[in-house]
Chains A and B, each alone.
Chain A
Amino acid sequence: MIEIRNLTKVYHTNKREIKGVDNVSITVNEGEVYGIAGYSGAGKSSLLRCINLLEKPTIGKIKVDGSDLTLLNKSDLRLARLKIGMIFQHFNLVSQKTVAENIAFSLKAAKLPKEEMKVRVDELLDMVGLTDKRDVFPGQLSGGQKQRVGIARALANNPKVLLCDEATSALDPTTTKSILNLLKKINRELNITIVIITHEMDVVKDICHRMAIMQDGRVVEDGPVYDVFSNPKEELTKEFISSVVSFEIPETILKHVKGTIVKVLFRGDVAGEGVISGTLKKFNVEGNFLHGSIDYIQDLPLGIFVMELVGESNEIQKALQYIEKQSAQVEVIRNGI
């Protein structure tokens, strides 16, 4: 649905050049929720804003639904934008217009006849649950309600794609949850491809199918969210993930523990604890759980156990191999001392 090829965006500021985006290529499939995470200044917004050409790419191609946006003239680009919705961190509603008028703007841009406009506005208000706020001004709405208006405005013309720039960053956790649920529903029921930018890994974990991590304008790691979470390769990725899925055990505990310390990672439906205790019985190895957690990523469990194993080193080896066979991933953090 979205193909970004070798995208580079250079900003010129007082003789200095800043590469906001540096040679990025990503593909977002139809019907997917794609997350882009990274620290402030990583280039997430620049990348997202290039997708609907709010920012003109310096180099590279942007294809949305098969058409290369960089080749379109102004009026064709406007038409293409009708099919690319966008929502913003600070909502960006017209404060002097009512909720209905804000939504109607998009429909006006699509030259929808007046009578149909009213019907469609009501439909959209119903979808985002704001029917009773139709004639209210944005100043009287809560942050979550404002974002709902933003979503209704973005979806007015049945877009193929919805771009979200930190759409929940200005909201409290409960409101964030409800907005994310709305986005999930939109993705599932309307089959709209969503690209979501965030610095909150919780958001990625909650609703994204695939993701990319950005730093200094480049994508440092990407892939299915479950894979990235269960098997992060880059330091930066690990750092991000640690806010959601914890891998570390405190130094003080490591000091007291004398045996071999291993991290066992179970993906999917494998009943982790059962496998481990079964294995310990089978081999002559004693085990102590130091840390254990099960996280759900896209409704798939990811179990992580950190444990101390005590016993003959070749028994431990055999036990670990056995665990690995049960579709788990084993990593020795430290050998016995």
Chain B
Amino acid sequence: MEFDVNHLIEFIPEINSAFLETLYMISIALVVAIIIGLPLGILIFITDKGLFLENRVANQILGFIVNLIRSIPFIILLVALIPLTVALVGSMIGPTAASVSLSVAAIPFFARLVESALREVNYGVIEAAIAAGGTPWMIIKDVILPEAKAGIISGITITIVSLVGTSAVAGTLGGGGIGDLAIRFGYYRYDDTIMITTVIILIIFVQIIQLAGDKIAKVVNKK
């Protein structure tokens, strides 16, 4: 194994654009996961037994769909979603195309994290809101979400970190990004310099996300 600094400098523009592609994929998937996964997680939580919108049928259907998607290995999901990807973005390669399957995988992942964050909320507080005559919407908006805020932020952190790994897989199948770079140069061409650099970039990136996420979760928590 050898590390060639000149070779690295030569490759900086390529690494740079690969990193931006990764950021781009992750950002899209994260936004979609939040927009769809957050309500989904809330719905699964409040329709559960004993909660104020208890609904067995809805709860089991949603739970089943979430489990179904989560149990499919990402590679297979990605291939299975090719028709949808093509229909949505008109192509099956490139970071935009990859973000479709990344989003689909991230939605149920994040929804479960949201659900478990909501479960951490002291039920007595929800009950007090029910006793005060609050509507379900008020209880979600003014009680459950504020109380689960820190947990949901941790969920977002975990989702980003997990998307870093998944995006590398998507990258190898034509998605681009830093993971793709690592595999193309490091694995197929035995280019240690590029492989080590990309791995270090990913490690630093994950560390920063985790530290920032933990910090934010702590700062917003008024407990």
Contacts and interface: CB of A to CB of B under 8 A. Distances in A.
Nearest to A150: B128
Interface stretch (B4-12, B97-105, B129-137): B129-137
A105 B138 CA distance: 8
Contacts of A8: none
Interface in B98-139: 122, 124-125, 127-135, 138
Nearest to A87: B128
B135 A78 contact: yes
A92 B122 contact: yes
A94 B132 contact: no
B125 A94 contact: yes
Contact of A109 (B135, B146, B223): B135
A52 B131 contact: yes
A81 B132 contact: yes
A110 B133 contact: yes
A95 B130 contact: no
Nearest to B221: A96
A214 interface: no
Given A95-B147, A137-B222, A105 B125 contact: no
B124 A94 contact: no
A283 B186 CA distance: 114
Interface centre among B122, B132, B138, B221 (most CB of A within 10 A): B132
B132 A95 contact: no
Given A52-B131, A81-B131, A153-B132, A108 B122 contact: no
A63 interface: no
Interface residues of B, number: 21
A192 to B, nearest CB: 15
Chain A's interface: helix, strand, loop or mixed, by majority?
mixed
Contacts of A195: none
A94 B131 contact: no
Given A105-B138, A109-B138, A139-B222, A97 B131 contact: no
Contact of A95 (B129, B134, B142, B222): B222
Given A105-B129, A105-B132, A88 B124 contact: yes
Most buried by B among A79, A82, A93, A94: A94
A279 interface: no
A305 B122 CA distance: 50
A54 interface: yes
Most chain B CB within a 10 A radius of its CB, from A84, A90, A96, A97: A96
B128 A88 contact: yes
A196 to B, nearest CB: 15
B146 A86 contact: no
Contacts of A147: none
Interface residues on A, range: 20 to 34
A109 B134 contact: yes
Interface string A64-108: 000000000000001111101110101011111100010001101
Contacts of B143: 94, 105
A94 B138 contact: no
A24 B61 CA distance: 40
B70 interface: no
B193 to A, nearest CB: 48
B149 interface: yes
B223 A94 contact: no
Contacts of A92: 122, 124-125, 127-128
A96 B122 CA distance: 12
Contacts of A94: 125, 129, 142-143, 146-147
A238 to B, nearest CB: 34
Contacts of B132: 81-82, 86, 105-106, 109, 153-154, 156
A139 B124 CA distance: 16
B133 A54 contact: no
Interface in A298-332: none
A92 B130 CA distance: 12
A96 B222 contact: yes
Contacts of A139: 222-223
B142 A81 contact: no
User: Which of A52, A86, A95, A157 counts the most B-chain CB atoms under 10 A from its CB?
Assistant: A95
30 contacts: A52-B131, A54-B131, A78-B135, A81-B130, A81-B132, A82-B132, A85-B131, A86-B131, A88-B128, A93-B128, A94-B129, A94-B147, A95-B125, A95-B222, A96-B221, A96-B222, A96-B223, A97-B146, A97-B222, A105-B142, A105-B143, A108-B134, A108-B142, A109-B133, A109-B134, A110-B133, A137-B222, A139-B222, A157-B133, A163-B131
Interface of B: 122, 124-125, 127-135, 138, 142-143, 146-147, 149, 221-223
Interface of A: 52, 54, 78-82, 84-86, 88, 90, 92-97, 101, 105-106, 108-110, 137, 139, 150, 153-154, 156-157, 163
